[in-house]
Amino acid sequence: MNRIDKKFKEDKKLLSIYFSAGHPKLEDTLTILEKLESSGVDMVEIGLPFSDPLADGPTIQKSSTQALRNGMTTRKLFSQLENVREKIKIPLVIMGYLNPMMQYGIEKFCQNCQKIGIDGLIIPDLPVDVYHESYKSLFQKYGLYNMFLITPQTPETRINYIDKVSNGFIYMVSSASVTGAKDKFGSPQTDYFNRIAKMKLSTPTVVGFGISNSETYLTAIKHSSGAIIGSAFIKFLEKEGVENIGSFISSIR
């Protein structure tokens, strides 16, 4: 069974963390993963940095740019993660844009993910229909899940379609926005969370974008299976450093 499915079978709400691989320092990747797991984080999205991250706000743009400057590449990330499963047991997802994966070679990319023990991918600029037509069989061949996004603007019929073709979880973007922290969620967000909860989708939903603290985390998980924190974690890393990761996680839950 895919580690992601196993995780959702546990009777608890997920806390998932995103970080840009290669940031703050090039070789921080494994340390960050270890600290996150030992702090009780349930799943991690490892960001593969890209020069032109369309869906990301200023914080993740900046961390991606810094990671690239530090020398992060697809090849480098795979070599850092080569033995990651000797230590890390929680589900690991690589989140990145399509172009660097294409240049690496999609099949080779998938093959390497399987070899290392990556459980799934999130590729914001790979639309669900293109995935279905051109990539699905390849991802399945290497046991990789591919997670899709939905937003408050996604029509109900499309949500149902995405639910049908999804595995792992559906990434529920909290509001019409690029990534970035918000202090609190207003009623448009909670209405949207409620609306999606009432659809009783067969795939678990995890809320992301705009989750920054305990308050937004608790609101997000009320009507979903979990939540993802990215920008707020990256800001914390920049300020407080890798060694204090535990205190960030305990401030959330």
Partner 1 sequence: MNYNVNEKGYYGDFGGAFIPEMLYPNVAELRNNYLEITRRADFKKEFENLLKVYVGRPTPLYFASRLSKKYKTKIYLKREDLCHTGAHKVNNTIGQILLAKRLGKNRIIAETGAGQHGVATATVCALMGIECIVYMGELDIHRQAPNVARMKMLGAEVRSAKSGSKTLKDATNEAIRDWINNPIDTHYIIGSVVGPHPYPDMVARFQSVISEETKWQLEEQEGRDYPNHVIACVGGGSNAAGLYYHYLNDERVNIIAIEAAGKGIDSGQSAATSALGKEGIIHGSKTLLMQSSDGQITEPYSISAGLDYPGVGPMHAHLFRSKRAEFISIPDQEAMDWGLTLSQTEGIIPAIETAHAFAVLDVRKFGPEEIIVFNCSGRGDKDLSTYIDYFKL
Name the 3-class secondary structure at 212.
coil
Min dist. Cβ of residue 151 to partner 1 (A) = 5
Residue 202: DSSP 8-state: S
Residue type, 101: M
| Residue closer to partner 1, measured from CB, 87 or 108 | 108
Catalytic residue among 28, 42, 56, 119: 56
The residue ranges that bind partner 1 (CB under 8 A) are 50-55, 57-58, 61-62, 65, 68, 73-75, 97-104, 124-128, 130, 148-151, 153-155, 158, 173, 176-178
User: Between vectors from CA 56 to CA 29 and to CA 96, what angle results, nearest 5°?
Assistant: 50
Are residues 50 and 63 in contact, defined by beta-carbon separation less than 8 angstroms? no
| Residue closer to partner 1, measured from CB, 24 or 57 | 57
Min dist. Cβ of residue 52 to partner 1 (A) = 5
56 is catalytic: yes
CA dist., res. 211 & res. 253, Å (int)? 13
Residue 125: DSSP 8-state: T
Within 8 A by CB and 6+ apart from 204, the residues are 8, 168, 169, 170, 224, 225, 226
Min dist. Cβ of residue 196 to partner 1 (A) = 14
| Residue closer to partner 1, measured from CB, 39 or 111 | 111
Tokens 């998932």 appear where?
16
Structure tokens given for 90:
């929680």
Min dist. Cβ of residue 235 to partner 1 (A) = 17
34 is catalytic: no
| Residue closer to partner 1, measured from CB, 171 or 217 | 171
Catalytic residues: 45, 56
